[in-house]
Amino acid sequence: MLKPLFLDDAGPSSVGQPVARREAVLKVTGEARYAADHHPEGMLYAVIAASSIARGRVTRLDVANASAHPGVIGVMTPENAPKFARHPDLKDSNPFTFRLDVLQDENVRYANQPVAVVIGETLEAATEGAYLLAPRYESDVARVQFDAGEPFTPNVIGGLYPPNESKGDVETALSSAAVRINATYRTPAQYHNAMEPHAIVAQWNGDELTIDTPSQALGLGRARIAGLFGLDVKSVLIRSPYLGGGFGNKALISGPQILGIMAARFTGRPVKLVLRREQTFGPVGHRAPTSQTLRLGAQADGTLTAIAHHSRTASSTFDDFFEPSGTLSHSLYATETISTTHDAVRLDIGTPLFMRAPGKAPGSFALECAIDEMARACDMDPLDFRLKNYAEIEPMSGKPFSSKALRECYAQGAQRFGWTGRPRAPRQMIDASGLLVGWGMGTATFPAKMFLAEARVVLREDGNATVACGAHDMGQGAWTVLAQIAADSLGLDLEQVELQIGRSDLPDGGMAGGSAGTATAGTAIHHAGKDVVAQLIDMATNDERSPLFRAGNAGVIARNGRLSRSDDEGRGETYSVILARAGRTNIEGKGNAAPDAVAQGNYATHSHGAVFAEVKVDPELGQIRVSRLVGAFAAGRIINPRLARSQYLGGMIWGVSFALQEHAIMDPRTGRPMNANLAEYHVPVNADVPSLEAIIVDEDDPYVNALGIKGIGEIGITGSAGAVANAVWHATGIRVRQAPITLDKLLWSQPSHARDGSSPSRALFD
């Protein structure tokens, strides 16, 4: 469907080349159509009426008044909503099935829960109708205070992670350590806030359903919808060629999307439902708060002897999603004794779900700050301390790494940043304008994952190919990198490849989540392309009329739409000639992707990196500015360095946001989020990150998958938040262990070098 706009000088293969985004012009000219851009004939508008309480029940809705408003077509409530073939609270063996709020009853479980849907001829009519419903409630005291909940041991993400794991006798190792630290770090609730809010345009045609909605997992979404409405999976078509950001909360079908489908069935007409910004704070997932206690022990020379990482998180009262923050400590630093434990509390909130680098982002903030504190306690440079405790094998599992170029990341990042000569003590650097300057660093890591996927490639008699895979592009560049992989596997120029993605009626492309989208869909496409080439080779080498007759598979190469002998490239023929002689108009190849059981069982597979941060702090106001970020990352084979750098930079910016800005504020009286908008829920703008640099470190991984590629989408955040926090300490001497680090925390915190036990003071003024 898309062909490249232009191609840099890529030589025989575009893989590894900085090819421009294929969809770039479509996006900047407005030709790329997102979900809410669709307007089928006869379309109605649906608007959610959301609860203003966090716990209780709806006692009254003024349906008559809302229905009487001009332009309102109908009001959908628990009393008249279409029924389901499968109850939305039921779960199955899929750990990614979560309960939905879709007007099952009058109970309210969190603020912003949908309590009714108003459908109108215009958006204005539906919006006014929702206002006129004027819900009344029987309200209970909301339980939204993280520290007030009763903790229990959770089943972390449907059993994907054991809540408690250990190796060695941690308590003995800690008690005998020459140097110890014990510190608690807190991270807040955060919300995805993608540029594109959740939206759906739903159309029924009998028992066939067509949906335009952003999706990071078309196959999972299609199956979920079919199950709820009792449909054959093939009768559900989801179209999602473009997403305006997902970050995890578009991986699973949410309640508001189901409500849009219900509204279309309720009215018998196409319906569009788009969430307002504040309505995304509740029913579509978020990152839960954490409180993490790190206890580290070390020998006098700085050798780590123990890591104990306890994480407390929160979930809703009605479902189970728990951040596995402690698991990060399994894989980074060499020690013989490790313990990670998790517990949780239940709150009157929407269920937290996957958010960029789930578990790893909050876990790395805590661990990287603790490692910095231990380096200080051992009187070592933070980089030297990390190198001293470099893990040659994965500490918890004992498995060798499939590849690990973290030393090179440390070296290249430190050299580029100018880390050598950094004063060890805090508050030693001041710039010309009198601002305190601090340098900090953090180690970045993220597991290299892969899901199941399928792909189909059709090579036509004109020498061009169509590649079909239900993959997803949420801005990371899949339209481009998947086409590069396809062209490379087929031995074609990129201009000869037509890529079809973003539809559920294509072969299932797996999930664009867990930084696994390219590895998953790309591997399936790679195998499908190789299948086509293998068929061509078989046709040519077994045909007496071909110059490749009896050349054998090992003696044939595919390049530039042509097969030729490897020992004599002049002897060969084009794909078109081979097909024409065989009387074929096309060849179809199929490919699959699945995690390699041997590699997964025998190796620890991770991407790695190192991030170095410079901050400047106003000593009178406490205002913090990040002035420089340099990250160096190793993630196996890089398909497109231009787009890889873009992903790394995006992750690093999110790390700045995590460390300094993002947090949801809940009203303890009502349980409502108080900053559910982009004016008060702060995320970085250009002025917040003036200098960014991402270095791509070469790495070859022969085990992780057929392409040797690892995920790059989430690793950038895991080193950056800790690096910024550590730089703030280095600038001020104040260790703030709670994200985000805001100026009030600096002004009213005690310097970390204070030992007299005095009350907190306005330390920056001292």
Of residues 106, 454, 699, 714, which has the active-site annotation?
A: 714
Helix 715-732, helix 360-377: angle, nearest 10: 40
- Give catalytic status of residue 714 as yes or no: yes
CA-based nearest residue to 660, from 687, 623, 693 = 623
DSSP annotation string for 162-204:
-S-EEES-HHHHHHT-SEEEEEEEEE--B----SSPPEEEEEE
| CB 502, CB 242: distance < 8 Å | yes
Helix 360-377, helix 641-660: angle, nearest 10: 70
Amino acid at 164: N
Residue 148: other Cβ atoms inside 10 A: 10
Helix runs in 420-516, H state only: 478-490
CA-based nearest residue to 348, from 48, 3, 101, 603 = 101
Element (H, E) at 635: none
| CB 86, CB 79: distance < 8 Å | no
| CB 370, CB 181: distance < 8 Å | yes
CA-based nearest residue to 364, from 731, 745, 725 = 725
Give the residue carrying structure tokens 């360095």: 641
Residues 707 and 523: their CA atoms lie apart, in Å, by 7
Residue 126: other Cβ atoms inside 10 A: 30
| CB 588, CB 686: distance < 8 Å | no
Both tokens assigned to 193: 């806030």
CA-based nearest residue to 328, from 257, 379, 391, 388 = 391
387 alpha-carbon distance from chain centroid: 28
Residues 616 and 727: their CA atoms lie apart, in Å, by 9
Q: What length is written for the chain?
A: 766
What is the set of active-site residues? 714
